[in-house]
A and B are shown apart, each in its own frame.
Chain A
Amino acid sequence: MTTTVSPPPERAPGRPRRRGRTTDRGFNRAFRWIAVGAGVLILAVLAAVAVFLLQQAWPALTAGSDELAASVPRYPDDTSLLEYVGPLVFGTLLAAALALALATPVAMGIALFISHYAPPRLSQVLGYLVDLLAAVPSVIYGLWGIFVLGPAALPVWEWLNSWFGWFPLFAGPVSPTSRVLATVAVVLAVMILPIITAVAREVFLQTPKLHEEAALALGATRWEMVRTAVLPFGRSGVISAAMLGLGRALGETMAVLMILSPGFLYSFKILDSSQQQTIAAYIALDFPEASGLAVNTLIATGLVLFVITLAVNMGARAIVARRKEFSGAN
């Protein structure tokens, strides 16, 4: 490295810089407008979606319960819209939470293996494979859930019920179709695994060498090094990764629609059919046959999903922002 680059000549104070001004400004300006435009576009799209949802949901939001019961199929009498959406919100949150609980530990394990345990070549292959999971269309996951996972998981569900039936989640009866929320949760977990793994892996890889070596030099084994240096450093990053996965699980439509036998109950029985339903699957299921106020009602439930997802993502953002203080960049 013998190339010597002379520093740009210092500009004497008071004398304006001439050279490069016009060309620079042309590109600068164009780039700035492109960047600003892209930023504004995002806001505009978001606002447009919000306005559309509000506008279309409005008739349902303002309609009385009698009116809704008359025009929306399967709408019970004397129920406010909120009471009607409640079980759907419950089902959505339950499915997403279960999927998250299943996926996060596995994703962290894979991410740690890739970042700190596997030999370089294997970890590269594994990384590709995990990313490949994200490329599988959700229809395929739905089919897989019905024909492969469902039958295969049935003995597990029965076992869970016979040993842990006292626990509300595993209370009987067990549906022999296996088209239950437990199966859905496993499929959702597989679907959100790639995003959580990818983010967690990046976070773990960013652990400063300095801190890893500090732990090793104290006589830490590999696992102790991970525990003292890598996990505390990556904690908030893993949380935000999980939030990203949660966002995806909340909105997943096709796989849930295909697998789940829906119901409208506040029910924790995840091994029985016709208990819960998620918002997204509900909209997709009923939309083709809906008309008039029924459409407005569906869109109102969509509005609720939009708000929930927005809240989850903002929560993730807040955690990511808080992470700055713990980055150890000092």
Chain B
Amino acid sequence: MAQRIDVKDLNIYYGDFLAVQDVSMTIDPQSVTAFIGPSGCGKSTFLRTLNRMHEVIPGARVEGTVEMEGVDLYGDDIDPVAVRRNVGMVFQRPNPFPTMSIRDNVLAGVRLNNRRISKSAAEELVEASLRGANLWNEVKDRLDRPGSGLSGGQQQRLCIARAIAVKPQVLLMDEPCSALDPISTLAIEDLIGELKQDYTIVIVTHNMQQAARVSDRTAFFNIAGTGKPGRLIEMNETSTIFSTPAEQATEDYVSAPFLVRASQDVAAVGT
């Protein structure tokens, strides 16, 4: 189910502005890869190129290749819609469809593209997906209620259930816990640990403890300054990144996280 991603020499542009420069990395299947770095360093931008959500923004484009099991996602004959069906995404803020019930939210992706599904198969899929997202026991009695009536953490798990219902190969998570309280965060982190049995998971996080807790490998991104492109500084086993990183910048960031991050955030706000 899970697949491996190879990124080679990727440059990401917004119009003429080079946002992320020259990223090459390999993301292993059935593992959790975390992206850390200061605000504005391009880690979310990079994440969005992995399912071609990047190009939803007008003028955005990439150079280089992103290969999934050897197939270039940016090849001429590749439909971005098909890519996104294979690479699920969970956003920073929980975003269940407000006009849909919990059940319909889970089935939203399956019903796209006029795919027909029998009633019993739909029920099974809803239960399996919600169980997979550790939400089944909390919502099984109110599947017809609107998804927006759940708590923030439950909504985020509903979004994860919605993403895994279409059985993707890869699951991208863009700061999935940043809008959640600590208990909900813990629930999501536990869930990530379970999901990696089946999926390739890539997670962007501002929370370094979180990266240390959930990920197998960690990539550190940084920017030289305002208006400069973001770069991948280094990528390694998570334990190595947090104990003996190869680069001084990484060491600075992970060992004095608050100071470095605060100053970088100020720089990023100025852009």
Q: Which residues of A contact B (CB under 8 A)?
A: 1-2, 120, 208, 210-211, 213-221, 224, 228-229, 232-233, 235, 326-328, 330
Pick from B82, B97, B112, B166: contact of A211, CB under 8 Å: B97
Knowing A210-B93, A210-B95, A219-B109, say if A232 contacts B82 (CB, 8 Å).
no
Whether B112 and A220, one on each chain, are in contact in the complex, defined by CB atoms closer than 8 angstroms, is yes
Q: Which residues of B contact A (CB under 8 A)?
A: 51, 53, 56, 58, 81-82, 84-86, 88-89, 91, 93, 95-100, 108-109, 112-113, 148, 159, 162-163, 166, 269-270
Whether B112 and A214, one on each chain, are in contact in the complex, defined by CB atoms closer than 8 angstroms, is no
Q: How far is the CA of A218 from the CA of B161 in the complex (A)?
A: 12
Contacts of B270 in A (CB 8 A): 1-2
Whether A120 and B97, one on each chain, are in contact in the complex, defined by CB atoms closer than 8 angstroms, is no
Whether B99 and A219, one on each chain, are in contact in the complex, defined by CB atoms closer than 8 angstroms, is no
Whether B51 and A217, one on each chain, are in contact in the complex, defined by CB atoms closer than 8 angstroms, is yes
Contacts of B98 in A (CB 8 A): 211, 233, 326-328, 330
Q: How far is the CB of B3 from chain A (nearest CB, A)?
A: 16
Whether A232 and B97, one on each chain, are in contact in the complex, defined by CB atoms closer than 8 angstroms, is yes
Measured CB to CB, the nearest residue on chain A to B86 is A219
Whether B82 and A326, one on each chain, are in contact in the complex, defined by CB atoms closer than 8 angstroms, is no
Whether B97 and A214, one on each chain, are in contact in the complex, defined by CB atoms closer than 8 angstroms, is yes
Q: How far is the CB of A321 from chain B (nearest CB, A)?
A: 17
Whether B81 and A213, one on each chain, are in contact in the complex, defined by CB atoms closer than 8 angstroms, is no
Whether A326 and B53, one on each chain, are in contact in the complex, defined by CB atoms closer than 8 angstroms, is no
Contacts of B56 in A (CB 8 A): 213, 216
Measured CB to CB, the nearest residue on chain A to B90 is A217
Knowing A219-B84, A221-B113, say if A228 contacts B97 (CB, 8 Å).
yes
Whether A211 and B100, one on each chain, are in contact in the complex, defined by CB atoms closer than 8 angstroms, is no
Q: How far is the CA of A210 from the CA of B86 in the complex (A)?
A: 20
Contacts of A217 in B (CB 8 A): 51, 53, 84, 88-89, 91, 163
Whether A224 and B95, one on each chain, are in contact in the complex, defined by CB atoms closer than 8 angstroms, is no
Whether A328 and B84, one on each chain, are in contact in the complex, defined by CB atoms closer than 8 angstroms, is no
Contacts of A327 in B (CB 8 A): 98
Knowing A120-B58, A213-B91, A228-B108, say if A218 contacts B97 (CB, 8 Å).
no
Measured CB to CB, the nearest residue on chain A to B89 is A217
Whether B91 and A219, one on each chain, are in contact in the complex, defined by CB atoms closer than 8 angstroms, is no
Q: How far is the CA of A235 from the CA of B84 in the complex (A)?
A: 27
Contacts of A233 in B (CB 8 A): 98-99
